[in-house]
Amino acid sequence: MNQTFFLLSSLLLSSQVFAADSELKADVIQRRQAMMEEMDNQGMLILFSADPVRYSGDVNYEFRQENNLYYLTGLRQTNITLVLMPQNSSRREILFVPARNPGRELWTGNMLTAEEAGEISGIETVWNASEFDHFIDSVLYGRSYRSTQSSEYGKFFADLQEGEANIFFLLESKPGLTGEIMEEFRFANRLRDRFTGIRIKDASPIFHQLRMIKSPYEIKQLREAIDITIEALREAMKSIHPQTWEYEVEAVIEYVFKKRNSFDWAFPSIVASGPNATTLHYQKNQRQTQRDDLLLMDVGAEFNYYAADITRTVPVGGKFTPAQATIYQLVLDSQKAAIAVIKPGSSLRKINQAAVEVLKEGLHRLGLITSTTSNQYRVFFPHGVSHFLGLDVHDVRRGEVLKHNMVLTVEPGIYVRSDSMQRLASQGMDENDLERIRPAVEKFMNIGVRIEDDIRVTETGYELLSGQAPREIVDVEAMIMNNN
């Protein structure tokens, strides 16, 4: 009976893995088709895989594929090049993968065969990586490469003769006159020097446009990343008590990430207690918490390359002090106001405006600012409210208008720092006003609160994807109180 159960379980697991791979394959096929349509079904796109990044000596960081190549292929191996040629009669998609190397595989594991790369990506034409230079030489000199059809590259060759052959690269990184020139720029410059009839184009705007709208498959991956992050936050909340070290909480969070088969964090975890919570990207995570501290946790798991980003701020002792509760509720009210305006046709500007209006009125009421018509509030709320979410935690953005199946964050915050008075003075606040607000600044000193959730734009409004992570004061306190 045990053997039968094991066999059935194995078959079920295998079928689930196969189904997931098939779903990814279908999705990347559709993405490539959309990409070629946005290229006006002309020209050539060349995408290179990411290079391994050295950590120290002969040790590399764990390899992570370049997002846009992954977006079009689903492949996670290095030394891969994708070429799209929409005008071709049959070979519109060509993948170049390195030959397997048993000596290398002994150290780093199996490399993809051409058949495996084709099966994962749905690309039929898979050639050895060593052929890429020969392919470029032939095609850009107007000679067919490995084709039995004389018309295979005909339309592309005609554009070459007219000086109108567009070649697309990822040229998003702008080096200027003094910055480092990336591989795509170097390769594009080589083509300009050696071939005529070509026009170099930046494919980044097309990727930005396509990646903003998430497919059902992508939303499924985002849901999993978010669910993993919620579990991690809930487990972290259960572990928090006075004298806990920030790194202990970080360890609980990232243990859950690994336990749930997350690739890793989507960004370095921020676990900031007491005054550290007023530093936006604090990452040392080395302080020991005290009973009256707030602990801010800004964390996100990555699952199948898709990122979550959730922030919760909790009282270490189990109950917010009156001052902490006042700031926390103001941040929560501003977040709710911002989320309420999310729907197709709205914009990041409107979301930000809704949050800021609540924050400004609240800061003025609490005596932290003297004017709601100036930028004084920026001393206590110095960042934006929203960013898009996807393959990058701060995902690509093109335009402001929200559309169905975009995914974004909403994350207002208030940070009362030891330098708040100096920063207000630097804005031009006079001595009388500074003295008026000094008691309020001292009352709320070292309180840092941020609340961040991940939200999908629906056909008529929004879906709060991260709503299972406690955020109401009573729910947060109940979660922490059980440990104290």
Least confident of 14-18, 210-214, 325-329: 14-18
Q: Choose between 369 and 173: higher pLDDT.
A: 369
Which residue spans of the chain are classified as CATH 3.90.230.10? 213-481
| 213-481 placed in CATH 3.90.230.10 | yes
Q: How remote is the C-alpha of 186 from its chain's centroid?
A: 27
Query: Helix, strand, or coil here: 189?
Result: helix
pLDDT tens profile 472-481: 999 999 999 7
Neighbour count for residue 159 (Cβ, 10 Å): 19
pLDDT tens profile 351-386: 999 999 999 999 999 999 999 999 999 999 999 999
Task: Please give the model's pTM, rounded to 2 decimal places.
Answer: 0.93
149: its two tokens: 């059809």
pLDDT tens profile 23-80: 999 999 999 999 999 999 999 999 999 999 999 998 999 999 999 999 999 999 999 9
Neighbour count for residue 442 (Cβ, 10 Å): 11
Q: Rounded to 5 degrees, what angle do the CA atoms 295, 261, 108 make?
A: 120
Mean pLDDT value across residues 121-133:
97
- pLDDT value of residue 180: 81
Average pLDDT, the chain: 93
CATH fold of 21-210 reads Creatine Amidinohydrolase; Chain A, domain 1 (3.40.350)
346: its two tokens: 């709205």
Cβ-count burial of 60 within 10 angstroms (0-12 exposed, 13-18 middle, 19+ buried)?
middle
Percent of the chain with pLDDT over 90: 85
pLDDT tens profile 256-266: 999 999 988 99
| Confidence at 443, pLDDT banded by 50, 70, 90 | very high
Length of the chain: 484
Q: Are 73 and 123 in contact (CB under 8 A)?
A: yes
- pLDDT value of residue 483: 67
- pLDDT value of residue 16: 38
Which residue spans of the chain are classified as CATH 3.40.350.10? 21-210
Q: Which amino acid is residue 359, in one-letter code?
A: L
| Confidence at 10, pLDDT banded by 50, 70, 90 | very low
Least confident of 59-63, 141-145, 147-151, 397-401: 147-151
Mean pLDDT value across residues 450-464:
98
